[in-house]
Protein backbone atom coordinates (compact mmCIF):
# COMPACT_ATOMS: atom_id res chain seq x y z
CA UNK A 1 0.00 0.00 0.00
CA UNK A 2 2.74 2.38 -0.99
CA UNK A 3 2.53 5.37 -3.33
CA UNK A 4 3.92 3.45 -6.32
CA UNK A 5 2.33 0.31 -7.81
CA UNK A 6 5.71 -1.47 -7.75
CA UNK A 7 6.58 -0.52 -4.16
CA UNK A 8 6.72 -3.39 -1.65
CA UNK A 9 3.62 -3.89 0.44
CA UNK A 10 4.05 -3.04 4.08
CA UNK A 11 1.11 -5.16 5.19
CA UNK A 12 -0.21 -8.35 3.59
CA UNK A 13 -3.50 -7.84 1.74
CA UNK A 14 -5.39 -10.22 4.06
CA UNK A 15 -4.20 -8.35 7.14
CA UNK A 16 -5.13 -5.00 5.56
CA UNK A 17 -8.64 -6.26 4.71
CA UNK A 18 -9.11 -7.58 8.25
CA UNK A 19 -7.93 -4.25 9.70
CA UNK A 20 -10.19 -2.24 7.40
CA UNK A 21 -13.15 -4.50 8.21
CA UNK A 22 -12.61 -3.88 11.93
CA UNK A 23 -12.61 -0.12 11.35
CA UNK A 24 -15.73 -0.27 9.16
CA UNK A 25 -17.64 -2.40 11.68
CA UNK A 26 -16.70 0.05 14.42
CA UNK A 27 -18.12 2.92 12.37
CA UNK A 28 -21.34 1.02 11.54
CA UNK A 29 -21.96 -0.23 15.08
CA UNK A 30 -21.00 3.14 16.63
CA UNK A 31 -23.31 5.08 14.33
CA UNK A 32 -26.16 2.64 14.92
CA UNK A 33 -25.62 2.88 18.68
CA UNK A 34 -25.70 6.70 18.51
CA UNK A 35 -29.04 6.43 16.68
CA UNK A 36 -30.42 3.95 19.22
CA UNK A 37 -30.35 0.99 16.82
CA UNK A 38 -29.19 -2.38 18.14
CA UNK A 39 -27.02 -4.31 15.67
CA UNK A 40 -25.96 -7.95 15.94
CA UNK A 41 -22.39 -7.91 14.51
CA UNK A 42 -22.51 -11.69 13.95
CA UNK A 43 -25.28 -11.34 11.34
CA UNK A 44 -25.21 -9.96 7.78
CA UNK A 45 -26.14 -6.26 7.91
CA UNK A 46 -29.53 -6.81 6.22
CA UNK A 47 -30.41 -9.36 8.95
CA UNK A 48 -28.64 -7.61 11.83
CA UNK A 49 -30.86 -4.53 11.86
CA UNK A 50 -34.61 -4.91 12.31
CA UNK A 51 -36.61 -3.76 9.28
CA UNK A 52 -38.69 -0.64 9.88
CA UNK A 53 -41.28 -0.28 7.09
CA UNK A 54 -42.14 3.25 8.31
CA UNK A 55 -38.70 4.44 7.21
CA UNK A 56 -38.66 4.11 3.42
What dihedral angle (degrees, nearest 10) is formed by the CA atoms of 13, 19, 24, 27? -160
pLDDT tens string 3-51 = 677 777 678 889 999 999 999 989 988 998 999 888 777 888 777 666 7
CB 48 within 8 A of CB 41: yes
What dihedral angle (degrees, nearest 10) is formed by the CA atoms of 33, 39, 45, 51? -100
pTM score, two decimals?
0.58
Amino acid sequence: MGPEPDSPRRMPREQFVAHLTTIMMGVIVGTAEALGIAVDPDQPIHDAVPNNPAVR
